[in-house]
Chains A and B, each alone.
Chain A
Amino acid sequence: MEFSFVQELVHRLKTFQAMQTDVVTTRAEQRMREVQALMRARRISGVPVVDEVGDLVGIVTIEDIIRALDHGHIEEPVDTWMTKDVVTVRDRWPLTESMSVLDRTGYGRLPVLDESGKLVGIVTPESILHSLLVELNRLLAQDEEHPHQAVDRSAPDGLRMEFQVTAGDYDSAGLSSVRLKRELANRGLAQDVQRRVAIAVYEAEANLIIHTERGGQILAVMDDETIRVTVEDDGPGIADIDLAMKHGWSTASDLVRTLGFGAGLGLPNIRKCADHFEIRSAPGYGTRLNLRFDLTPAARGDSAPKGPAGRGDEAGAGE
């Protein structure tokens, strides 16, 4: 049974999350001797060979070096002795897929290619183990904060809502936010929490609509103590997170601004609203936001409507 947790973990990860990105490469016209020296210096057992535009053309492994040495051809170019029929994996494949290729072929490393066939990394058993440990660590840190989280994800009063957000669909902005807020209102949460969650989710939604290539998902899970919101997309990712977190900085187009978005306040506002804010992003791979809202007794219990009566929040209106 212990395996199922790790299996679930592996299943969730994509290959790019487990690859090593600072890959040492060589060119076909280099001599085998130079590659041998490179491998010794960097303590690696295989070097991908790329052409001038970064396309993978082969790989030189320890076995290739030994073969060349055996035949006294160590001074010859890589082109003659490299393995040309390279088994590769894709960056967006589930990690399980790449692991089964490693397992099936018995190779110690697999070059990782992106959609356009460019070499973007390399997966090895070590890089996979490393990524699993990092992910485990993250989950453990979460569970230490909220130990019940690991065992009970569906408390009786719990709530789980998932939203798909479509890129470019400006008119639907705020839809997830309003639906979620209505559920929180139905559960009698305090106005302040409802408001902070609604604003953060609205901003996240707007980001998915404006900035992503294919939209993304928002998942909100509530239990007795917290509301956790995860926002995930698969690209294009943020090149400079520090800059994106700055008030007023935006890459949005004029059209987007005309429609009322792109003020460059989104991420800072989300951070302001949430009790815990975590962002991870890599250009080419997408962005993931982890938000947490703590439910203090006041936040959970105070269901007294604030402000004038007759508001529409609880009306169950038809969106």
Chain B
Amino acid sequence: MLWSELMAELDATVLVPGADFDVNAIAAADLLSDILATEKEDFVILTGQTSPPAIRTALAVGALWVVVVRGKTIPQEMIDLAKSFGIPLAVTGKKMFEACVSAGARMWNSPSSRS
């Protein structure tokens, strides 16, 4: 599943655009420590966190994208940080569980999926 396909699936608003690559995996968690403990690579972070540490977490673990759930208002500071580090950032109105279900359904049925 491509990043753009995921965005469509989640009906997400892209705040910081980025190149359209294949999404290998998704790490869904509100606890940044959970994300820091993941062993996935080239993945999307799906989270309820709306603070700069979430972007730094993506940088530390090498996640390629960040999507915030529940249509939360993203502070400008987080958007600026994502921009300056080249981390695509989007927000979806879906709740965490709903976002996981629709992303998962699409991912596992997608012909381009490698997961």
Contacts and interface: CB of A to CB of B under 8 A. Distances in A.
Interface size class of B (residues with CB under 8 A): 20 to 34
Contact of B42 (A307, A312, A315): A307
A315 B18 CA distance: 14
B59 A310 contact: no
B84 A318 contact: yes
Interface stretch (A43-51, A88-96, A174-182, A226-234): A174-182
Interface in A227-266: 257, 259-266
Interface string B68-106: 000000000100010011110000000000000000000
B56 A202 contact: yes
Interface residues of A, number: 41
B51 interface: yes
B59 A178 contact: yes
Interface string A188-214: 000100110011011100100000000
A203 B33 contact: yes
A278 interface: no
A313 interface: yes
Nearest to B39: A272
Interface string B40-74: 01100001010111111101111010000000000
B54 to A, nearest CB: 7
A306 to B, nearest CB: 8
A173 interface: yes
Given A170-B51, A260-B49, A260-B51, A317 B86 contact: yes
Contacts of A318: 84
Interface in B1-60: 18-19, 21, 30-34, 36-37, 41-42, 47, 49, 51-57, 59-60
Given A260-B51, A269-B36, A315-B86, A195 B56 contact: no
B57 A174 contact: yes
5 contacts: A195-B61, A260-B53, A262-B31, A265-B33, A313-B59
Interface of A: 170-175, 177-178, 181, 191, 194-195, 198-199, 201-203, 206, 257, 259-266, 269, 272, 306-313, 315, 317-319
Given A260-B47, A272-B37, 19 more contacts: A171-B52, A172-B52, A172-B53, A173-B56, A174-B60, A178-B56, A198-B60, A199-B36, A206-B32, A259-B49, A260-B32, A263-B34, A263-B37, A265-B31, A266-B33, A269-B36, A307-B41, A308-B19, A317-B84
